[in-house]
Amino acid sequence: QQQVKQSPQSLIVQKGGISIINCAYENTAFDYFPWYQQFPGKGPALLIAIRPDVSEKKEGRFTISFNKSAKQFSLHIMDSQPGDSATYFCAASKETSGSRLTFGEGTQLTVNP
C-alpha cells in the first residue's frame, strides 16, 4: 500500500534553475511532512519539514509548499547547484504511530553545470 506518491522519478535541471518535486499522500492523519536528501552510500539527511497548519516554509534555497485540501506537497529548490545533485525523498508521519516515516519512491536530481 503506497501511501505517499512522489514524482518525477528523475529530474535534470541546469545550474541556476528551479527544481520542483511533488508528493501526494492518502492518510489525512499524517501530521508531519519532511523532505530528505540522500547521497550515494549515505543515509538520508533531513532537509526541511512542514506541519499541515502552514502552507509554506522556506529555508534558504529550499521551500516546501503544502496544500492540505489536495493532500499534496512539493519541494522547490531555487538557484539549483551541481552540489544539489542527489536523491530526494518526501515522507510523512504521525506522532501517534511512533513517528515512523512513510517515504515516497524518490527523485534523482541531476543539476548540470
Partner 1 sequence: DTGVSQDPRHKITKRGQNVTFRCDPISEHNRLYWYRQTLGQGPEFLTYFQNEAQLEKSRLLSDRFSAERPKGSFSTLEIQRTEQGDSAMYLCASSFTGGAHYGYTFGSGTRLTVV
List of residues contacting partner 1 (CB under 8 A): 4, 6, 31-32, 34, 41-46, 49, 89, 91, 93, 95, 97-106
Least CB distance from residue 11 to partner 1, whole Å? Answer: 15
Least CB distance from residue 48 to partner 1, whole Å? Answer: 11
Q: Compare residues 55 and 99 and give the one whose CB is closer to partner 1.
A: 99
In angstroms, the CA 94 to CA 96 distance is 6
Helix (H, G, I), strand (E, B) or coil at 84: helix
Q: Return contacts of 93-99, CB within 8 angstroms, 24+ apart.
A: 93/30, 93/31, 93/32, 93/34, 94/27, 94/29, 94/30, 94/31, 94/32, 95/31, 95/32, 96/29, 99/32
Q: Compare residues 35 and 63 and give the one whose CB is closer to partner 1.
A: 35
Q: Compare residues 6 and 63 and give the one whose CB is closer to partner 1.
A: 6
Least CB distance from residue 100 to partner 1, whole Å? Answer: 4
